[in-house]
Structure 1
Amino acid sequence: MLIETPLYLTPQCVALGSKYFPIFWLATDPPILVEGGVSAVIPPALKQMKELNLIYPNTLVLLHEHNDHVLGVPPLMEKLPTLEAVGTHETAQLLSKEKVIEGYRQADRFFTRVLKEHGEGEETNWKDFPSVSTLEECPLPTGIHTLSTPGHSPGSCALFWEKEGILFVSDSMGYYSSQGKHFPLFFQNLELYLESIEKMAELSPSILVLGHLQCFKGEEVAMAFHRSREEALKLADRVKKAGEKAEEMVFHAIHQDELITFYLRDVIRECARLLVKRALDL
């Protein structure tokens, strides 16, 4: 199911901001936000929260460290001064590095321009990137569990809201485009990526929420886990058979749909290089 915002995934969970980089409000006690998105989606997300009379949260849970999932942190914390951003140790550590943030700031300018062109975002002009706490330092509400899901990135984790049966996986099982195509994203390690998919599947969620565009419900959930695993193995097999043409093959395989629109060509080329390297590592 395509995530249009705002969208109630359940009466207790709302997708906000933009379908391309959504953030999620959960009616836990107290409420929390999940995913950081990019800065341009925060103004519409805050407007949607106000229109829906949602209680402002005090905690934002980041599910991994990549720029398109954390750049909403500065404008969110400017507008909600009591908000605390938390993530894995790896996420918190990476986001404390000035050189990393400078690169992320440049990426955010691109995201903002493209989202504005699509009528899905607004300029924020944030200044400083606030510090991010670790999950160990900030207890989450009762019934919320996090699960380490490396493979996509070292700092990846999933968040499971047991009562609602909702599992937020971010990019830990790849990218599903609006056209239903699936792109594996095992940038860190293929074996860990596959193990993480199995661990997440064992939770048997009733709703599966990805980091971009899509969520799955009911019978679609098991199918999505299976497809994510099979597509990763299939891509790895194609890489091994492609020889010197592997990087070009992978680039054309993933440089499609929203990965053309919302990401620079050079970024996707680097993604292709990493996927080839990790496939050959296995």
Structure 2
Amino acid sequence: MKTKLMILAISLVSFSGVAMGFDFGKLLEDRLNQELNKDKKTQPATTQPPAGSQNAAASPPATKQKMDVGQLGFALFGDYSPEEENRIGKQISGNLLGAVPLVQDDALQRYVNLVGNWVAMQAGRKNTTWHFGVLETEDINAFAAPGGYIFLTKGLYRRLNNEAELAGVLGHEIAHVTLKHHLKVLKKSSLIGALGQAASSKAKGSDQVVQNLIGNGAEIMARGLDKEAEFEADRVGIVFAARAGYDPWGLPNVLQDMAALPAKDNRTSLLYKTHPHPGDRLAELGEAVGGHLDGFEGKDLASRFYKIR
């Protein structure tokens, strides 16, 4: 399989041209920024009495807020319960759906959820209720949020040829959730430093901690994870798809198709902000997988693949 993947990566062709369409990436970022700044806009300004006034003289000096080292340590290195992770993912997903709604096709959404849940069963992650959806946009991308919330765009779904390719895409996003890539980034981000100050005495149950994670997680969805996390999700995702009985070539075939799109295609502008180039991902898969899957014969199930209207 390594040789085949390297051939795919080397043979990718770049085309010139621009596909017309709205900037989904800008729309998503604007929506997320609106949600993140909502509280700031509604919070009343604090008024200070003029210097030298009687009120000013009577006001006690401001006290510096102390950081609880133990709480900060939890925010950086601790873990969150499935309930808290689900709450974070649910609100982040709500922000995403506030920017772009689901495709109004119940049969499509049921089909994607059936395939997604079957692949997710191979991850062995307990206490997770998985949710899958197709977004009403011609942009080409897919997203995952903590707690098992996964979306792909209608533009990406239209380019899929069979169920194995769908399973490969969903397997990649399932891997992000299973490996807790988003939560790991949140704990390492510089913004987490503020959580130790804002957290209550029981950091694990703190609403403020969760709210900060929700805000930072929304930004990660708009800007993407680091490339090593994406490469790892590719490797683990094809294993999940193969365990489910699908052709492991599903995801590599999708990557090859995306890499052949015009370089200036507006539909992929956000994709390249949130993921490494598909050609790089194919090359990494070839190095990692080698010939381990050469003898595996999975199914593509093209005959039952749901064709979008």
TM over 0.5: no
What range describes the TM-score normalised by the shorter chain of this pair?
A: under 0.3
After TM superposition, the score normalised by the length of structure 1 is 0.25
For CA contacts below 8 A with separation 6 or more, give which structure has more relative contact order: 2
Computing the radius of gyration over CA atoms, which structure comes out larger, 1 or 2? 2
User: Structure 1 or 2: larger strand share?
Assistant: 1
User: Structure 1 or 2: larger helix share?
Assistant: 2
